[in-house]
Amino acid sequence: MSAVIETQDLRKVYKGISKAQDVVALDSLTLQVNEGEIFGYLGPNGSGKTTTIKLLLSLIFPNSGTMKIMGNPNITAPEVRKNIGYLPEGAYYPDFLRGEEILRYYGSLYGMKGPSLAKRIDEVLEIVGMSRARKRLIRGYSKGMRQRIGLAQALLSDPGILILDEPTTGLDPVARKEIRDLLITLRDQGKSLLISSHELLEVELISDRVGILFEGVLQTSGTIDELLTRREFTIKAEEAVPEAIQKTREAGLAPEDAAAGRVVFRVPENMSLYQALDICKAQNMKIVSVAPRRETLEEVFVRVVGSAVKNKEAQRGEN
Amino acid sequence: MSIWLASNPWLTVVYGIIVLAIVACVVVFTPWSIALFTFREGLRKKTLIGFLILSILVIFGSMFMTAMMYDTGGTVATDVDVKLIKDICITAVSIFGVLIAIFISASVVPTEIENKVIYTVLSKPVRRFQYLLGKFVGVQITVLVNLLLMGVLFSIALYIKEPIFPRMLLYSIFLTYFEFLIVSAFTFAVAAASTSAVLPTIAGLFIYITGNLTQYLESVVNRSEVSENAADKALGWIAWVLRYTLPDLQNFSLKTQILGLQINDTPKDIQIPNLVVYGMLYALAGYIIAYWVFRRKEL
């Protein structure tokens, strides 16, 4: 599978008044988004996700490193730009225009005009489910409708690459599901999507590959299956009195949740399932269920970021 | 010699070529959708609408003022009456017109950076120089339309009092546009480097005020030359720098002629080609500075 977006050792420093105030937003970022995949780009606030996107769009410029889009190092070339659709986070669309007028404006920036532009506007409005609201002024749109219009403008040139910054933020559950389904459809049509998001569950549901960024450094990346390798067991038990729960804790099996005599244990890595069951039985608990579970992306994210924070603090301690 | 010709025929041809070249480049390279979008957006800016309404009130208020003067004594002569309207209206057009030019030039780019519209525009196949050119042309259309509107209202106000063709006024409006063009271009250049509209607005007001004080700057330079005081020398040096770097906007004013001559007269002692080329070259310099600072600006 060929890469449509590639960065190599990308570094971006935001200059402060003095050198001590410089902020390293990205450090040696080597990233690859492949053709026809959804790449989930994750990271806490200020980790460098939007900086990466701005660099790819030449809204800001790197201090070092290289970028290629569709194999072309000249990422501002018109043929490259025509192949990119971009939805910024929380973008504003002039509210004195109607939905179709704003699309006509953006379409004209691609050099589209006349019947072909009108046809394409009809198509993208249909894709994002906004055909009925096309004549309404944007000031009367809900947040979800504005996001859909934003997505429509990103799709106008029928680009091969879509860069979406927080595409579902602030949307209600139904709208989220619809946008999610739309993104999967676009991927199935062969488009490549780079999605920056805080919505870990959604990213897990739709992404083929994921990268986790923290303080400008790509901590890990891979397919969902590669990242979610940890298998764990949970044990649900009843008739667990507080003293018994305390004893299991002392034995190394801490409860994840406990209420009204019911308790849930997650078997730790250093303990076998049989050992955990024996501890429960020794406290006369009634085992209700034993279930294997896979680590979620949220847990991977918390673990990776937590580990990065610890490493950073350890480095500071050494210095 | 006609005021539409330069001091010699060859210069007229050269000036004609310069003007045509600049206009042709603007027509060919401007993304007109961005320009028209900027114009439509400009018409909706509350500050601009406020200035326009104020200017209309002042222009028509001047008529009521003169009418009241008639009512009270009936001794005011018609030429004084017309002179008062001309004085008030020219001042209103200049002040409100330049405020509109400065506010819109100062805000178009910083506003789009603030609300992130610029991200969606520059992620399309639009070069930064095209984006800036579209914005700049859009600003000029807005300024021109506002100025024409004020000029038409001014003409109506005058025509009601003195029903003759206001030729002098049309020349004045034409030259005032080029004055606004210069102020607008330099305000736009500062705006291209800023993230808010405050600094460019201040810069625009500074250029307009200083550009209209060139005689005063010259007298400061002359006084400093004969003074022994170090502070006077320093002030003289600053005045000299300002005098020879900033445009001389007084050249574009026909206020004295409008007040002194008949409104249907042709202006005297001016060469319109010189002023047009002067205005366009300063505007070009302003645009080039704007592009220079914007081409690597981090958004």
Percent pLDDT > 70 in chain B is: 94
User: What is the tens place of the pLDDT at every residue in A206-257?
Assistant: 899 999 998 899 988 888 888 877 677 889 998 888 888 888 998 888 888 8
pTM of the complete model:
0.84
Within this chain, do residues A162 and A110 fall inside the same structural domain, yes or no? yes
Within this chain, do residues A157 and A15 fall inside the same structural domain, yes or no? yes
Contact A57, A244 (CB under 8 A): no
Structure tokens at A269: 């890595």
From the CA of A81, how many Å to the nearest CA of chain B?
5
Alpha-helical (H) ranges within chain A are: 49-56, 78-81, 99-109, 114-127, 143-155, 173-188, 200-206, 224-227, 242-250, 273-282, 297-318
Chain A environment of B125 (Cβ under 8 Å):
78, 81-82, 109-111
Interface contact flag, A81 B125, Cβ < 8 Å: yes
Whether ipTM > 0.90 holds is: no
User: What is the tens place of the pLDDT at every residue in A63-88?
Assistant: 999 999 999 999 999 999 999 999 99
Alpha carbon of A52 to those of A58, A164, A300: distances in Å?
A: 10, 12, 22
**Vertex A68 angle, CA A76 and B109, to 5°:** 30
Size of interface A-B (CB pairs under 8 A): 66
Within this chain, do residues A85 and A143 fall inside the same structural domain, yes or no? yes
Within this chain, do residues A113 and A235 fall inside the same structural domain, yes or no? no
Quote the mean pLDDT of chain B.
86
| Higher local confidence (pLDDT), A223 or A312 | A223
From the CA of B44, how many Å to the nearest CA of chain A?
8
Closest chain B residue by Cα to residue A107: B124
Quote the mean pLDDT of chain A.
89
Interface contact flag, A78 B125, Cβ < 8 Å: yes
Residue A265 three-state SS: strand
Q: Of the residues A227, A260, A276, which one is the last residue of a structural domain?
A: A227
Mean pLDDT of B207-226: 88
Interface contact flag, A59 B40, Cβ < 8 Å: no
Closest chain B residue by Cα to residue A61: B298
Least confident of A102-111, A167-176, B94-103: A167-176
- β-strand pairing of A231-238 with A286-294: antiparallel
Assess whether pLDDT exceeds 80 at residue B4: no
Assess whether pLDDT exceeds 60 at residue A160: yes
Nearest to A73 by CA among A7, A9, A13: A7
| B40 interface with A at CB cutoff 8 Å | yes
Mean pLDDT of B269-274: 83
Chain B environment of A94 (Cβ under 8 Å):
37, 41, 117
Mean pLDDT of B65-71: 66
pLDDT of the residue at A118: 94
Within this chain, do residues A41 and A176 fall inside the same structural domain, yes or no? yes
Chain A environment of B115 (Cβ under 8 Å):
91-92
From the CA of B144, how many Å to the nearest CA of chain A?
22
User: What is the tens place of the pLDDT at every residue in B142-172?
Assistant: 999 999 988 888 888 888 877 888 888 888 8
Highest mean pLDDT (candidates A242-251, B23-32, B50-59, B119-128)? B119-128
Within this chain, do residues A150 and A247 fall inside the same structural domain, yes or no? no
| B120 interface with A at CB cutoff 8 Å | yes
Contact A36, A78 (CB under 8 A): no
Q: Of the residues A173, A204, A227, which one is the last residue of a structural domain?
A: A227
pLDDT of the residue at B71: 54
Model confidence at B228, in pLDDT bands (50, 70, 90)?
confident
* CATH code where residue A271 lies: 3.30.70
pLDDT of the residue at B87: 82
Measured CA to CA, the distance from residue A32 to residue A39 in angstroms comes to 9
Within this chain, do residues A221 and A128 fall inside the same structural domain, yes or no? yes
- Report yes or no on A146 lying in a domain: yes
Closest chain A residue by Cα to residue B31: A109
Nearest to A59 by CA among B34, B7, B117: B117
Radius of gyration of chain A (CA): 24
Within this chain, do residues A58 and A190 fall inside the same structural domain, yes or no? yes
- Report yes or no on A306 lying in a domain: no
Within this chain, do residues A175 and A290 fall inside the same structural domain, yes or no? no
- Report yes or no on A304 lying in a domain: no
Interface contact flag, A61 B296, Cβ < 8 Å: yes
Contact A266, A234 (CB under 8 A): yes
Chain A environment of B37 (Cβ under 8 Å):
94, 105
Interface contact flag, B33 A91, Cβ < 8 Å: no
Chain B environment of A106 (Cβ under 8 Å):
120-121, 124
Percent pLDDT > 90 in chain A is: 42
Assess whether pLDDT exceeds 70 at residue B61: yes
Chain B environment of A61 (Cβ under 8 Å):
296, 298
Within this chain, do residues A168 and A246 fall inside the same structural domain, yes or no? no
pLDDT of the residue at B103: 93
Chain A environment of B127 (Cβ under 8 Å):
76
User: What is the tens place of the pLDDT at every residue in B97-113?
Assistant: 999 999 999 999 999 99
Domain that holds residue A206: 3-227
Q: Quick one: A137 exposed, middle or buried, by C-beta within 10 A (0-12, 13-18, 19+)? A: middle
From the CA of A189, how many Å to the nearest CA of chain B?
22
| A42 interface with B at CB cutoff 8 Å | no
| A158 interface with B at CB cutoff 8 Å | no
Interface contact flag, B121 A88, Cβ < 8 Å: no
* CATH code where residue A202 lies: 3.40.50.300
Closest chain A residue by Cα to residue B37: A105
Option in A78, A94, A106 nearest B41 (CB):
A94
- Residue A255 is given by DSSP the state E
For A22, half-sphere exposure in the C-beta direction (CA atoms, 13 angstrom radius) is: 11
Within this chain, do residues A221 and A237 fall inside the same structural domain, yes or no? no
The total number of structural domains in chain A stands at: 2
Within this chain, do residues A238 and A213 fall inside the same structural domain, yes or no? no
| B46 interface with A at CB cutoff 8 Å | no
Assess whether pLDDT exceeds 60 at residue B73: no
Option in A58, A86, A109 nearest B31 (CB):
A109
